[in-house]
A = this chain, B = another copy of it.
């Protein structure tokens, strides 16, 4: 059964809400747990900026990118709702952070965090999850084929947006270009493209005409392709 209805919850999860289109956040004066809003493509921080704040994704998604001198780029992490961005072992951010779609973030000053044990415990739990996710990501980058990587990514977005988990078919709004997917999965954009097309031909997914619209037609098979 096909679900293309644009009112699908999975779509809403990443759909840009009514947000200012300027790149700068409309920020309240900075106090504990300030909530900020960013539009698609807005930069939250640049690699090399002084690392003063830690962010939690409340809605939407951000990507963390790192560059090599010759321009090779890796999207080293995609942070979805509930995840944290802004970690820095030294005094500057090592990656650049960019909103993938309309996104709301909660920001804490690093100093504040240190004073609040309960907050710290909560953040620690999130960091723990993120470390384990990064381990799974390393497995994907190091040992999975292009098809397995793409399937894994689609399932990750599905998991973040699913309401009716028993549905066989789920419609997603993946807020990444083919190039960004490639840069995240360690593949060329052409390979991502070909892989998605192949999955479509096999009836596993459907590729919508709207930007980023992908329908998971057979999540069971997709899960099989991803190695469960």
Residues of A within 8 A of B (CB): 64, 66, 68-69, 72-74, 76-77, 87-89, 94-95, 114, 117, 120-121, 123-125, 127-139, 141-144, 183-186, 227-228
Contact = CB atoms under 8 A, between A and B. Distances in A.
B68 A143 contact: yes
Q: Which secondary structure dominates chain A's binding surface?
A: helix
Nearest 6 CB-CB pairings of A with B: A142-B186, A89-B129, A141-B141, A76-B135, A117-B117, A134-B134
A64 B135 contact: yes
Contact of A74 (B77, B143, B186): B143
A209 B80 CA distance: 48
A114 to B, nearest CB: 6
Contact of A68 (B69, B132, B133, B139): B139
A73 B135 CA distance: 12
Contacts of A121: 114, 120
Given A68-B227, A69-B227, A95-B132, 17 more contacts: A66-B136, A72-B144, A74-B138, A74-B143, A76-B139, A87-B131, A114-B121, A120-B120, A120-B121, A127-B127, A127-B128, A127-B131, A134-B134, A134-B135, A141-B141, A142-B183, A142-B186
